[in-house]
Amino acid sequence: MNRDDDCDTAEIAVSIKDITYGYTSIPVLERIDLNVRKGEVIGLLGPNGSGKSTLLKIIAGLIRPSSGSIDFGNRRRGRSNKPVIGYMPQVESIDWDFPITVEEVVALGLWNRSGVMPWSSRYVRERVHKVLEDLGMSSKVKRQIRELSGGEQKRVFLARAIVHGPELMLLDEPTTGADPSTRDDILRILYELSREEGVTIILSTHDIRGVALNLPRVVCLNKRILADGDAKDILTQDNLLRIYGLIDSMSVV
Ligand code: ADP
Ligand code: MG
């Protein structure tokens, strides 16, 4: 079960070729091959320590792989070969001893593009408020981030990853700790971005029923890619037992 063959005719957004990486001499990712089409929404599934966050960081360019390569296909926007990326790190809940409001956190997503203090332009302010409104956070724009619940913080960090109009979104457990209504709102917004704007989305999740089973494609990871395909085909009882470690060295691809 491998979707890579389907990518022959479609526009490729991310092409990962034979990537291996270890923080030490022991690899945490081994020989990863993955093609993602433009506008696809893909879930990365695997137990703790299986390499999901590491793979997302490698795609984001935050970690350089020990070997292998990543291509981002032919893109219209931007001159560099790298797409505009919206990255949402794995954050459970923030209790920063640091005063920063919701709107300021989201404006940080525009920092790199404008090159000036994000708050200095009206465009930035309007854009930030629009994204927060879409995420149901209009009433909280002036609140301190540390005063929000974990689910509300998820919405804010998603807003920060969306605000600059990315072509590729890399979301590390965007719904973990969120209640079902926040989770469904987040998924709805991601599907809209994919369908209406062709944004390519790769997210990691542990939520099999609430997230993974609704995705058109899941990639199961445990150091290597163990399965790749339609969620309903892949997430069978037998495969889940293999993927979550009981027969962990067995490939089901
Ligand atoms: P996942 O997101 O699937 O839980 P990670 O990618 O975070 O997995 O971690 C994969 C492996 O790499 C784990 O064994 C983890 O302990 C290790 N690891 C992650 N980050 C670091 C780091 N900064 N330094 C050393 N080892 C790390
Ligand atoms: Mg992780």
Supply the CATH number for residue 214's domain.
3.40.50.300
Q: Whose CA is nearest to atom 26 of ligand 1?
A: 23
Tell me the pLDDT tens digit for each residue of 77-89.
Answer: 545 678 999 999 9
Instruction: Please report whether residue 183 resides in a domain.
Output: yes
Q: Which pLDDT score is estimated for 239?
A: 82
Residues 6 and 73 in one domain: yes
Q: Which pLDDT score is estimated for 99?
A: 86
Q: Whose CA is nearest to atom 13 of ligand 1?
A: 49
Number of structural domains in the chain: 2
Report which bound ligand comes closest to the CA of 176: 2
Instruction: Please report whether residue 90 resides in a domain.
Output: no
CB atoms within 10 A of CB 123: 10
Q: Which pLDDT score is estimated for 236?
A: 85
Radius of gyration of the chain (CA): 18
Is residue 115 scored above 80 in pLDDT? no
Closest ligand 1 atom to 56 CA: 6
Q: Whose CA is nearest to atom 14 of ligand 1?
A: 49
pTM: 0.89
Residues 171 and 78 in one domain: yes
Residues 69 and 190 in one domain: yes
Residues 71 and 193 in one domain: yes
Closest CA to 46 of 30, 35, 60: 30
The parent domain of residue 22 ranges over 1-84+166-253
Is residue 1 scored above 50 in pLDDT? no
Pairing of strands 12-21, 29-37: antiparallel
Q: Which of 165, 186, 204 is the last residue of a domain?
A: 165
**Which of the four pLDDT bands, split at 50, 70 and 90, describes residue 199?**
very high
Distances (CA, A) of 119 to 104, 125, 199, 225: 8, 7, 26, 43
Residues 252 and 191 in one domain: yes
Q: Which pLDDT score is estimated for 117?
A: 60
Residues 26 and 44 in one domain: yes
Q: Is the shortest distance between the CB of 222 and ligand 1 below 6 Å?
A: no
Q: Decide if 158 contacts 88 (C-beta within 8 A).
A: yes
Instruction: Please report whether residue 68 resides in a domain.
Output: yes
List of residues 6+ apart from 54 with CB closer than 8 A: 21, 23, 28, 29, 63
